Amino acid sequence: MNLFATKQQKEIVSKKELLGIFVLFTFLLVMFFPKDKIVSLVAQEGSNYDLSTKYLINIIHSYPDDNQPKIILVNMYLKMQRFDDASKLLKTFSADSHYVNRIDHLKYDIAKAHFFNNTSSLNKAVLISDMENILYGMIPHAKRVEDFEFIRMQAQRMNFQKLKVMVEIEMIKQDLLNVSEVFKIYKDALYLKMDKQANTILEHELHHSTDPKWRLLLAQKEFNTKNYAASVKNFEFAFKHAKTQKEKVKIFKELINFHMALKHKKDILTLIEKNESLIMNNDELIKIVISYYLGNDMLADARNFSLKLFKYHHKPLGE
């Protein structure tokens, strides 16, 4: 034994001893105490990341197939901005279906952390593409409402507009959204020129919704493709099943404009005759009808309609 060891040598021995004690202590913890309890306690450690990471690394070495301590350690690495360590650790996760969504979330968190801590515009472009691809990859694994909402929220925050529509379509299929949201998503799909996705929404709602506006949209689509026979049937179906006066007025305008565009005089006159009460109570419809009569030199019809209109709104008392 060297009684004259230098101060530096003593410090080296001391550090080695401390390291040995730490490893031994961690080993004993893992051996004699419930692992989940240790992991839980380490996860609650809010400040001493260095000590916590050492505990977790030793626990992971003892239980390499357990993903739970790895998840906690990845999150600690993110807080410490040790992104490369987080990425490397993520690759060691065992194949466990219960952790698929959580692993996807961590992949996204790592990419997002890289993005917001990177100053290179070139790197940012690559990272933002990675983030979008990760979110796309998460859609097939999404099971719970929370999973879909996470992807939807991140897509909105990062302005991934098409991705947002794609995840919303999956939510529509599972009836996770209300009618007003679905209609807005349909409009968004059309605006983004996602015609295939817009058709998917339309077809779904035609089979699952009683709202006549979807029939109206189908009628308009068929009119634009010159499928007039199918178009008029859907206009008439939508008009017949309109639930409110406001809906009836809107669809009536669409229907009469359809017949006017195709010069279906007989159908126009029949439509007016069968819906006089609706027309008489709406100024816009009155103007449409009178304009039609006058524009087609149907002066006698215009005069008769005006007389009916006067009588309708000036009924004698008691009637």
Whole-number pLDDT of residue 20: 57
Q: How far, in Å, CA of 118 to CA of 141, rounded?
A: 29
Share of the chain above pLDDT 70, in %: 81
Average pLDDT, the chain: 83
The domain ranges of the chain are: 43-84, 95-207
Beta strands in the chain (DSSP E): none
pLDDT score, position 300? 92
Residue 223: pLDDT over 80: yes
What pLDDT is stored for residue 274 in this prediction? 94
Distances (CA, A) of 6 to 2, 10, 12, 72, 240: 9, 6, 10, 42, 100
Q: What is the pLDDT of residues 123-158, one digit of tens each?
A: 788 889 999 999 999 999 888 899 999 999 999 999
Rounded average pLDDT over 210-235? 92
pLDDT value for 32: 46
Tell me what pLDDT residue 221 has. 92
- Mean pLDDT for the stretch of residues 296-316: 85
**Distance in angstroms (rounded) separating the CA atoms of residues 303 and 238:** 31
- Look at residue 73 and give its three-state secondary structure: helix
Name the token pair of 91: 């690759």
Read off the pLDDT of residues 13-51 as tens digits, 9 standing for 90 and up. Answer: 455 555 555 555 555 555 544 545 445 545 555 556 677
More confident residue, 5 or 263: 263
Residues of the chain with pLDDT > 90, as a percent, come to: 50
pLDDT for residue 143: 86
User: What integer pLDDT is reported at residue 45 of this predicted model?
Assistant: 52
Tokens of 164: 């947002």
**pLDDT, tens digit, 9 for 90 and up, residues 296-305:** 999 999 999 9
Which residue has tokens 């099943």? 241
For 236-285, the three-class secondary structure string (H helix, E strand, C coil) is HHHHHCCCCHHHHHHHHHHHHHHHHHCCCHHHHHHHHHHCHHHHHCCHHH
pLDDT of residue 238: 93
Of 290, 234, 231, nearest to 262 by C-alpha is 231
| Total-model pTM | 0.69
Range in 40-44, 85-89, 270-274, 292-296 with the lowest mean pLDDT: 40-44
Asked if residues 280 and 310 have their Cβ atoms less than 8 Å apart, the reply is no
Give the pLDDT confidence score for residue 26 in this predicted structure: 54
User: Which residue in 303, 312, 306, 307 sits closest to 278, CA to CA?
Assistant: 312
Given phi > 0 = left and psi -120 to 50 = alpha, else beta, which region is 240? alpha
- Pick 73 or 34 by higher pLDDT: 73
